[in-house]
Amino acid sequence: MNFTSPWILLSVIAAVVGSTTTLAAGDGPLRVAPFQCDATPPVGHWLYSEPLETVEHPLLAKGIVLEQGENRYVLAAIDWCVLSGGAHTRLRQAMADGAGTDLARAAIHCTHVHTAPILDTEAKQLLAGVENPPRYYDPAFLDRVAGDLSAAVKTACARLEACDRIGAAEAKVERVASNRRIPVDGKIVWRGSSRGRKTALAELPEGVIDPNVKTITFARGEKPIVRLHYYATHPQSFYGDARASYDFPGMAREKLQEEEGVFQVYFTGCAGDVAAGKYNDGTREARQGLYERLLAGMRASAAATKYRPVGPIAWRTVGLVLPPKNVPGYNPEEFRRTLVDPKQDGSKRIWAARRVAFFERKQPIAISSLQIGDVSIVQLPGEPMLEFQRFAQAQRPDAFVAVAGYGDGCTSYICTDKAFEEGAYEPGASAVGPGSEKILKGAIRELLGFARTGE
């Protein structure tokens, strides 16, 4: 099989699809409604690394429908680890169908908790064609969630309410996020989601982070209808067991909803190289502290909200094409050998299937943005490094720019060129190669309304 030909095709497609499309709303008032559905797998279904045995927290899909004129837009976050390729498109289409709109106006992002499933339709199809395939997700589960999600969106459309103001605010979150890549003596020391008993990792600097949680509120008069929160950190406290949980960000989200009586949605930002490792030893006590401190930041951000009148919606889309990484040890031929080998560990075969699926991908990655006045939301794929969030915000210094990562997860990590030079975990696990930084930054500028620049 020729693994490179789809990417030659995509280079041609990108010349057309890669251009920005702005889907402007018609005149008229803005209306909004929240929705929610349960996305918890059944007991026995495969999670991140184990079959599910117990449900500590239900995994939820939460989002909003926006309507202006004849157009509707849908934004959602789901408490899953990864949603890639056809599975990602399937849930976007389910939301679009429920809202009576088109696929381009629907976006869904994972919160990226690791006590949750990973779904990749094309990887599942590849595994179905090999000898003694490992356990992976059940397509019937995806069907059920897609149906429930579409129904939840349709129900929300029946109770859309007028929204005349949009609010924005941010507040510092203390002692939650820390950079995973710490330069020490010319080398990168890697600090993941938990330091465990390695106290030396806690003593290293916090590193470069975005310390603030950003909150966008849709309101009618003084009454908030729904709040969207954006914060950049890997959301893991402890994982690797047979438990479903929305972890500390979900705990903070649901507690604030209980306190305020206002629907809350949480999006994970560009957290590819950011996690709680400095402040997390993997215990329940540490998780409680992370939850309390994130909740305090979300409370403060909500309380600081400053409102302005709503204006017309600008929804922009870009078809993104990033170069696949193809190096010794990380190439389609080696992944194919792992995929078909029944003697290999099941998790390695699943990983290989996901990588082969990306090499064979024939469609650009759909990314989008929402702008209302001086408030913008940039919606990105994969696990982007923090630099892409900081870059997006720097392009519009006089505006309020929130960024969500973890859309279509086909790319895995999206790294800077500097990170590829430095090495360590993230560039090693990335499905895309050097040069991705320039392409994604160009797409971010387009999503923020800048004209495409020549090469």
Can you tell me the mean pLDDT for 70-74? 97
CA-CA-CA-CA dihedral for 297, 302, 303, 309, to nearest 10: 150
The tally of CA atoms less than 13 A away on the side-chain side of residue 297 is: 26
Would 431 be classed as within a structural domain? yes
Residue 13 has pLDDT above 90, yes or no: no
> What do you get for the CA distance between the two ends of the chain, in Å?
32
- 3-state SS, residue 383: strand
- Bridge partners of 78? 61, 110
Instruction: State how many domains the chain has.
Output: 1
Residue 62 counted as domain residue: yes
In the chain, what percentage of residues exceed pLDDT 90?
90
pLDDT in the model for residue 15: 35
Burial of 235: CB neighbours in 10 Å, binned 0-12, 13-18, 19+ = buried
pLDDT of residue 9 exceeding 50: no
Contact between 401 and 392 (Cβ < 8 Å): yes
pLDDT tens profile 14-64: 433 456 787 755 568 999 999 999 999 999 999 998 999 999 999 999 999
Q: Residues 176-204: pLDDT tens digits?
A: 999 999 999 999 999 988 887 788 989 99
Nearest in space to 123 (alpha carbons), one of 134, 114, 115: 134
Residue with tokens 């470069």: 208
Which 8-state DSSP code applies to residue 40? P
Residue type, 85: G
Residue 145 has a pLDDT of 99
Distance CA 150, CA 148 (A): 5
Contact 436, 305 (CB under 8 A): no
pLDDT 10s digits, 219-232:
999 899 999 999 99
DSSP type of residue 31: E
pTM for the structure as a whole: 0.95
- pLDDT tens, residue by residue, 156-169: 999 999 999 999 99
Residues 387, 116: Cα–Cα separation, whole Å: 26
- CB of 116 within 8 A of CB of 45? no
What whole-number distance in Å separates Cα of residue 91 and Cα of residue 268? 18
| In a domain? residue 22 | yes
The DSSP letter of residue 364 is P
Task: Give a yes or no: residue 99 inside a domain.
Answer: yes
In a domain, 454, yes or no: no
Provide the residue range defining the domain that includes 226.
Answer: 5-447
Cβ neighbourhood burial of 444 (10 Å; 0-12, 13-18, 19+): buried
DSSP state of 26: -
Tens of pLDDT along 79-130? 999 999 999 999 999 999 999 999 999 999 999 999 999 999 999 999 999 9
If you average pLDDT over every residue of the chain, what do you get?
Answer: 94
pLDDT at 76 over 50: yes
310 occurs within a structural domain:
yes
Please report whether residue 409 resides in a domain.
yes
Looking at residue 196, the DSSP 8-state letter turns out to be T
Say which amino acid occupies 18. G
